[in-house]
Each structure stands twice: as C-alpha cells, then as structure tokens.
Structure 1
Amino acid sequence: MEPSALLLFAASYLAVLILPGPSVTALIARVLAQGLGGAPAFVAGVVTAALLWFTLAATGLALLAASLGGVFEVLRYAGAAYLLYLAWKLWRAPIRPLAAPPPAADAGRMFLAGLAVNLGNPKAMMFFFALLPTVVDLGGLTLLGFFELALVTAGICTSVLMGYALAAARARRLFTSPRALRLMNRGGGAVMAGTAVTIVAR
C-alpha cells in the first residue's frame, strides 16, 4: 500500500481516537479508581473490537452489518448492562493499597468490558466504512494492504488508550488516603455507569 495512503488513514484514525469517547471514559474511570491493573486487558478488548469493525468494513460487510441493526442493538444493550455491573462492583470495591495486584479474574472481565464498549458502538464501524474508500481501493485491497491497515489500527488504538491509562494512573497517585481512594472508586463507578447510559441513549 502507498505510504501516503497509510499516513492519511493513520492521521484520521488518530484524530478520532484522541477525542475521548465511551472507551476512553470507561478506561480512565477504572484506572483512577483501581490503578493500572486490568487496563491492558481492557485495551486489548477495545483493540479486538476495533479490528473486527475494521475487518467488516474492509471486506465490504459493513452494509450487511448495518442491515442487521437488531443484532447491534442487542450488543449495545448487553455492553451497557455489563458496564453497569462493573460500575456496581467498582462502587462497592474494597480499598486496596496502590501497589496491590488486581484479582486474577480481573483481566478477563476487563477484556470483556473493553470488547463490549467498542462492539456496542457501531459508529466505530461506520468510521472505517466512511474512511477506507477515501484512502484505498477496497476492490483492489491486497492481503498485505489489509494487514498493514490492521497493524496501523491496532497500534494507534493501543497507543492512545494506554496513553490515557498512564496519565490517569499518574493522576491517581496524588490521592493516597483511604477516603480519597473510596471516593475515586465511587466516582469511577458513577462515570462508568454514565458511560453505560450514554451508550444506551445513542
């Protein structure tokens, strides 16, 4: 694929991801409340969903997916329900020292949360469907070109989300008292619940 086309795609995708959406909001809330534990798994879930949306668009299935609106409505409500469950758990979470490792099952739950947030956002698919035809000839897209675009997608998505997570982790270190940590847990839970409501209200 032409380097100029890859660069244009990368710049456009970066510009969209830098603006905080449901995925960024939920990630920051979780990191502020309980630290970086689980953040890489959440990011992996978001990236997996982004690659799924990219694949649907790149293979010309975006129109088919758009016609199955009911399926995506179910995904959206399921994702919102799962976020509400996580918000409730965060609200009631015990206060752990900043250095305490996350529970063993946390990574799996956070991966599913990231997956649910992004799969519940069909606008992510529509972004790929709108952008790809402007930078590549989808009819002549080679396997190598597909993997180049997928690599750019995964790299940018991971970098932006982990950047937000690391910034939130630095901010969290300013709060060390049990009362502050409890307030952050509950604030994070409230923000995550708000994200769920936003997803449903779209």
Structure 2
Amino acid sequence: MIDTQTLILFAAAVLALLVSPGPNMAFLLSHGISHGARGGLAVAFGIFVADLLLTALTATGITAMITAWPPSFDVIRYFGALYLLWLAIQTIRQHGSPHLVEKRSASTWSIFRMAMLNSLLNPKALLFFMVFLPQFVAPARGNLPLQLAMLGVVLSLIALVFHCALGLASGKVGRLFQRSASAARYFAWFHASIFVGLAARLLLLERPTTR
C-alpha cells in the first residue's frame, strides 16, 4: 500500500521531529527523573496509546470534524490546561514534604493515564496528525484511511522506541537523586513547574485561522 521509499522518508521525518524538544519530551523527562525508569516507561506507553487514538481519529476523519468547529480548539486547550494545573497542585501536595522520598507513591497506571491525557488534551497534537500524516499519502494508491492508519502506526512505534530509550535514560539520572531528600524536594517542585509550564503553553496557543 505504501512504498518503501515513502516509509523511509516518513520515518526520517518522524525521528527529526522527535529529537526536537517539545511538551511530550518535557513530560517524559520530568517523570523519568522523579519516578525512575518505571515512570519514564509509563509515560512512553501513555504517549504511544494516545498516538494510536489520534491516528484512529485522523484516519476516520473525526479530527477534521473537530477542528472544523473553531470553539473545539479552545475547549480542548482549556480542559488540558486545567488538568495540568491540577496535576501541579497534586504534585506539591503529595510530594513537597521533607519525606518526599518515602511518599513517592504514584502508580504506574496513574503516570500512564496522565501521559495519555496530556497528549490527547493538546489541540496541537490533533492538528499535527491531521496535517503531517496526509503529506505522505499517495491518492493514486487508493484507500486513504488505510494509508493514514499505517503511517500513524509506524509513527507511534518509532515514537515508542524513542521515548522508551529516553525514559530509561532519565530513570538512571533520577536514581542519582533518590537518596537525597533535599534533591528529591527540588525535583518535586521542578516536576510541578513542568506541569505549570505546559499549562501556560496551552493557554497561550493561538487558535488556527480559518477562512
């Protein structure tokens, strides 16, 4: 359905985008450092599931329908920003004490869920999938939804491998600070600042212009 040359070009473009710092990378690094490799891998798989869901939305045309209604952009980003601010508050409340190291109890499932929602509640992610994937579709080969789905799965798998490697690396860095209560408190506040920064980024996004 998709020729090898297109797949190679697509994979190269995906890797180039992944190495550029962005909200997913910041989210993953902060959790990997704060929760170790377990946290980093949970974020990686949360992003992976979100990517697959966004692929399905794009292939079925739902993403185009959502973005065609201008208020949807604001609705999604406001919910996303409120969610991130809530996470920041919870991080300080649960982990900002002198006994941070002992109280660090976020479950793998909760980290996975947070990562998935962080991706899904970002309107830029919807727009990215809707704009990026079709560039590598060949109408002459037919079955456009299937081509979009295949490209989305390839993107998701490449991103999963990249994010897993990054999660493991950040987990090793995090282990250097696990025995220090003062360092742990610092990373709790750093972790919360990541959430606040991502929320601010969402609030400052400009709605795409429509004609």
TM beyond 0.5:
yes
Distance change >3 Å, CA 24–CA 112, structure 1 → 2: same
2:204 matched to 1:201? yes
Distance change >3 Å, CA 127–CA 138, structure 1 → 2: farther
Which position in structure 2 is the counterpart of 1:76? 77
Which position in structure 1 is the counterpart of 2:175? 173
| Selected match of 1:186 from 167, 170, 189 | 189
Distance change >3 Å, CA 76–CA 45, structure 1 → 2: farther
Letter in 1 for 2:161: S
Task: Compute the displacement of 1:182 (Å).
Answer: 1.3
User: C-alpha separation between the residues in 2 aligned to 1:68 and 1:143?
Assistant: 21
Superposed counterparts of 1:96-175, under 5 Å: 96=101, 102-103=105-106, 106-138=107-139, 140-141=142-143, 145-175=147-177
Deviation digits for residues 88-115 of structure 1, max 9, x if unmatched?
Answer: 2222314226xx9844xx2332233212
Distance change >3 Å, CA 64–CA 58, structure 1 → 2: same
Of the structure 1 ranges 38-47 and 190-199, higher mean CA displacement relative to structure 2 is found in 38-47
TM-score (norm 2): 0.79
Q: Secondary structure at the match of 2:38?
A: coil
Deviation digits for residues 170-198 of structure 1, max 9, x if unmatched?
Answer: 22223231111111111111122211211
Q: Secondary structure at the match of 2:56?
A: helix
8 A Cα contact 2:43 2:115, kept in partner: yes
Letter in 2 for 1:29: S
Superposed counterparts of 1:2-81, under 5 Å: 2-81=3-82
User: C-alpha separation between the residues in 2 aligned to 1:86 and 1:168?
Assistant: 20
User: C-alpha separation between the residues in 2 aligned to 1:65 and 1:120?
Assistant: 13
TM-score (norm 1): 0.82
The runs of at least 4 aligned residues of structure 1 exceeding 4 Å deviation read 100-103, 142-147
8 A Cα contact 1:37 1:102, kept in partner: no
Task: Compute the displacement of 1:44 (Å).
Answer: 2.5
Task: Figure out how many residues of one structure are paired with residues of the other and give that number.
Answer: 198
Q: Secondary structure at the match of 1:20?
A: coil
Letter in 2 for 1:66: T
Structure 2, gaps ≥5 residues long: 206-211
8 A Cα contact 2:44 2:163, kept in partner: yes
Distance change >3 Å, CA 195–CA 166, structure 1 → 2: same
Task: Compute the displacement of 1:2 (Å).
Answer: 0.7
User: C-alpha separation between the residues in 2 aligned to 1:5 and 1:170?
Assistant: 36
